[in-house]
Amino acid sequence: MNLLHTSDWHLGRALYGRKRYEEFAAFLDWLADTIERERIDVLLVAGDVFDTSAPSNRAQGLYYRFLCRVAASSCRHVVVVAGNHDSPSFLNAPRELLKELHVHVVGSSTPDHPEDEVLVLRNAQDAPELIVCAVPYLRDRDIRTAEAGESIEDKERKLTEGIRDHYAAVAALAEEKRSRLGGDLPIVATGHLFAAGGRTMDGDGVRELYVGSLARVAAGIFPDSFDYLALGHLHVPQRVSGSATMRYSGSPIAMGFGEAGQQKSVCRVTFQDRAASVERIEVPLFQQLECVRGDWDTIAGRLRELAATGGQGWLEVVYEGDEILGDLRERLEAAIADTGMEILRIKNSRIIDSVLGQMHAEETLDDLDVHDVFARRLALENLPEEQRQELLHAYRETLSSLHDDDLRAE
């Protein structure tokens, strides 16, 4: 049996104001073709299907057209779980209809009914072939009861215990189902969280989107009964604690310039009985991104190289030279004139650092995230380090609760 693991599509995401629907459409077309070519039986999507809880009509159209295409293919099942960007109620709304297409959606965790997350998938002969513990993004309130006077350490401990207990509960149910069904069915689990030791990239949005709601969890909390663990949330494809069967597939396209040049992939998992072998399938590059940084001679030289090779990319330019260039934008526009390149962002570090200091007057809100704003405001206060950390933690918890609220729920 062949399984394909992907995550973090972020359909509808923009980059410095530029819409990226053509990229998303190209990726989904490639993914549907890959499913056919690789004879995939089960597709797992480990969260963050959409970039916001209220996706645009165009983003929704891409999602539903893709599901219909896959349902008509040789792929027997699709399993989709929600990530921290997704609205649970929005994903769940067409769940019963999608089930008729063998698309299984788990938008939220129900602590009192973990059995809702344990799916038995059947083959073409209606015989059970796989058990999936379809665990979505676990919100704070799903796994922890807040108590007055809790310390930061108490909260972190409860979060970790809540995650561990939830996975233990669904694993026990899966093992029970396997025993009842007979045979040696493989058990696959999903998750949308931050595993300890996980790698992130500047500009991927992970830091600002995953704050205070789930502690970084150690690989040891996941039960040994899982034959493969399909994770989402981190955009860099990677193993967890070196395990070949505990993986982040990573995002299929670069979400920011920090990911430019990174080879994106999906994971093809082949089962022989319960033994899983994993192969990364590289995703083609649909839109070139590049961060060009250095002094003016370095930047100009790189732009000439790109122009000579017919570069069509989107660029971020970071000027780091000693000379103050007041006409940097004009120089850059002249350098890319009559090429297919487009500069989406210019950062003149020399002016910012030497003239404006901490004011960062050239920055816009596109350059800052909510953490940067709070950190700068906090830096203005002369506070003891312990109180500073408490305020920072309280801020992250508040921000987390705002992210966790499902605005589409009644």
Q: What is the pLDDT of residues 284-339, one digit of tens each?
A: 999 999 999 999 999 999 999 999 988 889 999 999 988 878 789 999 999 999 89
- AA letter at 105: V
Are residues 270 and 298 both part of a single domain? no
Of 282, 301, 336, at which residue does a domain stop?
282
CB neighbours of 2 closer than 8 A, spacing ≥ 6?
Answer: 38, 39, 40, 41, 42, 268, 269, 270, 271
- pLDDT-derived band at 213 (thresholds 50, 70, 90) equals very low
* Inside any domain, residue 376: no
Q: Which of 51-55, 131-135, 358-362, 399-403 has the lowest average pLDDT? A: 358-362
pLDDT at residue 245, as a whole number = 96
Residue 295 CB contacts under 8 Å (≥ 6 apart), including other chains? 319, 320, 321, 322, 323
With a cut of 80, say whether residue 166 has pLDDT above it. yes
CATH number of the domain that residue 310 is part of = 3.30.160.720
The verdict on 202 and 333 lying in the same domain is no
372, part of any domain: no
Do 29 and 107 share a domain, yes or no?
yes
Highest mean pLDDT among 95-104, 178-187, 302-311: 95-104
173 and 46 in one domain?
yes
Question: 101 in a domain, yes or no?
Answer: yes
Neighbour tally for 89: CB within 10 Å: 16
Q: How many domains does the chain have?
A: 2
Q: Please check whether residues 193 and 121 belong to one and the same domain.
A: yes
Same-domain pairing of 75 and 130: yes
Does residue 402 fall inside a structural domain? no
Residue 373, domain member (yes or no) = no
Cα separation, 12 vs 139, in Å, equals 23
Q: Supply the pTM of this predicted model.
A: 0.84
- What dihedral angle (degrees, nearest 10) is formed by the CA atoms of 50, 51, 52, 57? -60
Domain CATH number, residue 275: 3.60.21.10
Indicate whether 407 belongs to any domain: no
Band of residue 370 on the pLDDT scale cut at 50, 70, 90: confident
Please tell me whether residues 32 and 166 are part of one structural domain.
Answer: yes
State pLDDT tens for residues 230-252. 999 999 999 998 999 999 999 99
pLDDT for the residue 129: 95
Least confident range of 64-78, 124-138, 248-262, 371-385: 371-385
The residue out of 212, 247, 282 marking a domain boundary is: 282
Query: Cβ distance 204 to 259 under 8 Å?
Result: yes
pLDDT at 234: 93
Say whether both 258 and 323 belong to one domain.
Answer: no
- Residue 205 is predicted with a pLDDT of 58
Share of the chain above pLDDT 90, in %: 64
**How far does the chain reach from its first CA to its final CA, in angstroms?**
40
Strands 275-282 and 265-272: antiparallel
247 and 118, same domain (yes or no): yes
pLDDT band at 200 (very low <50, low <70, confident <90, very high): confident
Q: Is residue 78 part of a domain?
A: yes
Query: Of 105-119, 130-144, 348-362, which range is least confident?
Result: 348-362
User: Nearest to residue 47, comparing CAs of 230, 307, 219, 215?
Assistant: 230
- Please state, in angstroms and rounded to a whole number, the distance separating the CA atoms of residues 257 and 274: 39
Q: Are residues 277 and 294 in the same domain?
A: no
Give residue 408's pLDDT. Answer: 52
Average pLDDT, the chain: 87
pLDDT on residue 46: 97
222-236 average pLDDT score? 95
State the virtual CA torsion across 372, 236, 209, 79 in degrees, nearest 10. 170
Judgement on whether residues 63 and 149 belong to the same structural domain of the protein? yes
d(CA 350, CA 341): 24
Could you tell me which residues are beta bridge partners of residue 298?
none
The answer on 6 and 116 residing in a single domain is yes
Segment among 1-15, 47-61, 368-382 with least mean pLDDT: 368-382
Expressed as residue numbers, the domain containing 339 is 289-367
**Contact of 232 with 5, CB cutoff 8 Å:** no
Question: Any bridge partners for residue 292, and if so which?
Answer: 317
pLDDT value at position 269?
98
Assess if residue 379 is contained within a domain.
no
- On the question of pLDDT at 100 being above 80, the answer is yes
